[in-house]
A and B are shown apart, each in its own frame.
Chain A
Amino acid sequence: MTKIAVAQRPRSNLVSRRGLLGMGIGAGAAALLTACGSDNPHELSFWNFYGPSPTPSSTSDWFRSVTDEWNRNNDVKVRPRFIAGSAYMNGNTLQTAFSAGSGPDIFLLSPGDFLRYQNGGALLDLTPYLPAGAREDYVKGALDTRTVDDRVYALPMEIEPLVIYYDKRAFEQAHLAESDLPRTWDQFLDVGAKLTSRNRFGALFETLPGYYQNFVWYPFLWQGGGGAVADGKSIFDSEPARNALGFWRETQRRGISPKAALGGGSGDTPSNLVAGYCAMQQSGIWAVADLKTQAPKFDYGIFPLPIPEGGKQVTDGGGWAFAVNARGKNPEAAARFVAWALASTDAAGVDRARRWNTVAKTNLPPRESVRKAAEAHGDFTSGVLKTFATSIAPTLRSEPRYPPEVYKAISDAIQSTQLSGNAPGGAARQASDVIDNFLLTYRGGSIL
């Protein structure tokens, strides 16, 4: 395959240059009337929220370099298309395109959307395209939520665990020392109260309803041994769920947490923690890179999510995956691209994945070989990233892939207790009933 592609390279370059020229000439008038090249099986669209973005960024660069490298060596070209994060995650662009049968060939998929797309038959089985040994290379559990009946339907590109970030200066101002860093919920509430002032909130948890809010709340549910679905039945009406709902409600009741985050929400540390809006903030590992580029002088630390008395240390590992549209123009080529981009086991492939996880962005790599390469490069050997790799990684649990109905029931329970201050007991029971009702008729991939 590679050989042929190399041999053909000069010719295909010529063609594309001529194509470009033609497009340039006819652009004005032709663009008005024709949808150019949308059915061409040699051009695959790749929708994502990283690049090529209108403004330069390291994540955009990575996407561009990966697609460029692929396009240099292959006849079937991959055309990345940037959609702003807010529109991609909360918007309708992707769904509208899919419902009209013109979804992109390759796209980024979050765990929260996995089952809906899988049950809809929109995802191509990537298993046959994975290089030998690739599946074994993924760290334990990393592929579970993208697997149905032992077939892999999406390839994760990262693992993003959640922690609490804190503002060291705010701690000093409140006369709190390193030893005061809260380990339990009660301690967290006390410290949060001490850090709350006229202009600053003690702690920030997400308030906007959506997949993201559920994602960051799940660890608190799991810490006490709770969950949403087990053996085809709801297990949400439980002590751990009520406690977790109650914990978040308490941060509101005591005035420690705002009812709305700034900027891009509670995952956005520059807008909140750095801006002095809050002193502690729950966010993911991506914030390390955000803070490094956007607020290099900001003095911060991280600590694991607080746990209930007697609870176990656990955090939620999010992360997006590449997926292939099973009804795309050329699913086979698209799958080859995805497998090549994320799962190649040769040195170049490992390095490509390492660059995404440590240079373009900060994540825990989902593959062992990539982790080793990153460590060899000196990443994860010092500072907060070391903490992530050594003390947070072992407590990881993959972001669940609940169907939208389950997600929404839990979301309603969180919103109703956190923001309206309703009793956790009633909210948990109601959510549980909705989930059970839904499970009666649910047919599809197992709910993990």
Chain B
Amino acid sequence: MPVETTDVTRTVDAPPRTPPRPVRRRRPRAGHLARAVIAWAVALITVFPLVWLLLTAFKPEGESFSGGLPSRWTFDNLTFVLTEVPFPRYLLNSAIVSVVVTALALLFHSMAAYALSRLRFRGSGLVLSAMVSTMLVSLPVILVPLFLIAKALGLLDNFAGLIVPMIFNAFGIFLLRQYYLNFPTELEDAAQLDGCGYPRLFWHVVLPLSRPALASLSVLFFLANWNAFLWPLVITSNPDLAVVQVGMSSLQGQYASAYNYVLAGSLIAVIPTILVFLLGQRWLIESMKSSGLK
């Protein structure tokens, strides 16, 4: 099973240089070409809003609604946002929160997923159902009670408040569990013989083996936390703790008419997510495949 998994994974997301499966080579050329053209066309249409954002952020004031290229390329907007507005601070805050949440979430979720997939104990089914059922609840729906609890725990207006409540999310447990289910049983038997305890087994065998799944989840978690808006807005009141989405919205509030600044801010807010995604997408696609969603 696992052998097959890794095998397929390799072919899945093959960069173009890997030879395509023989099946595909037999396809009619014309159809192949047409498909490629359509795919490219759809992709370009899809990213049009982003291209527009990219171009417009470099346009001088007053051209924000025009299509096409800037009449004059300018860095003024970006410079303004980075120097006159504490954007670097927002970026730093977002980075701290996103990285810490992602790291802790991955650790905790893989531990829980390991217990729920590889260890036999009474009540495991119940725990799993209970955890999965929390996936039906969304933040706007429990905002007030969650805020009350965060306050009782002293999480108002500090990094801990931005971080701790955002770690726990059953989605990650669920995906990792599906992934661990595919590990061969021999793996544990071998480890047991060596006299390796569960923590060591987890740390030295399970975690390294789950690298692809963790890598992809780390991309997803990072993006989700970088993009989070509602919770940071509510839980922090100290401007020094503002994360980038909150900063963005206050920029929009203050410079409603200075579109060039607002768009430059949007671009800066978006760049890290795009970078992370570009760097991490290979894992993302790979482990989605191996996550057991088949």
Contact = CB atoms under 8 A, between A and B. Distances in A.
> Are A and B direct contacts in the complex by CB distance below 8 Å?
yes
Interface of A: 31-36, 38, 45, 47, 49, 53-55, 57, 81-87, 91-93, 96-97, 99-102, 104, 262-265, 268, 270-271, 274-275, 294
Contact of B256 (A31, A87, A99, A264): A264
Contacts of B252: 84, 86
B197 to A, nearest CB: 32
Contacts of A85: 253-254
Contacts of A99: 144, 147-148
Nearest to B256: A264
B158 A93 contact: no
B157 interface: yes
B159 interface: yes
B50 to A, nearest CB: 21
Contacts, number: 99
B158 A92 contact: no
A152 to B, nearest CB: 27
B266 to A, nearest CB: 15
B237 A32 contact: no
B151 interface: yes
Interchain residue pairs A-B with the least CB separation, the first 7: A264-B256, A84-B250, A84-B253, A271-B257, A270-B257, A263-B256, A86-B253
A211 to B, nearest CB: 16
Contact of B257 (A83, A96, A101, A263): A263
A99 B250 CA distance: 23
B86 to A, nearest CB: 5
B85 A55 contact: yes
Nearest to A102: B151
Interface of B: 84-86, 143-144, 147-148, 151, 154-161, 230, 233-234, 237-239, 241, 246-247, 249-254, 256-257, 259
A35 B246 CA distance: 20
B59 to A, nearest CB: 15
Given A35-B156, A54-B239, A268-B257, 5 more contacts: A54-B85, A85-B253, A86-B252, A92-B233, A102-B151
A224 B251 CA distance: 40
Chain A CB within 10 A, most for which of B233, B249, B250, B252: B250
B147 A100 contact: yes
A436 to B, nearest CB: 30
B235 to A, nearest CB: 9
Given A53-B254, A268-B257, A33 B84 contact: no
B257 A294 contact: yes
Nearest to B159: A32
Contacts of A53: 254
Chain B CB within 10 A, most for which of A55, A263, A264: A55
A263 B251 CA distance: 12
Contact of A96 (B85, B144, B247): B144
A90 B84 CA distance: 26
Chain B CB within 10 A, most for which of A31, A35, A101: A35
A241 to B, nearest CB: 31
B254 to A, nearest CB: 6
A265 to B, nearest CB: 8
A57 B84 CA distance: 12
A102 B155 CA distance: 12
B65 to A, nearest CB: 8
Contact of A82 (B154, B156, B234, B239): B239
14 contacts: A31-B158, A33-B160, A38-B157, A49-B253, A55-B85, A57-B254, A84-B254, A85-B254, A86-B252, A91-B233, A92-B143, A263-B256, A263-B259, A268-B257
B156 A34 contact: no
Contacts of A262: 257
Nearest to B149: A100
B95 to A, nearest CB: 15
A232 B21 CA distance: 78
B87 to A, nearest CB: 9
Contacts of B85: 54-55
A263 to B, nearest CB: 4
Contact of B148 (A31, A87, A100, A265): A100
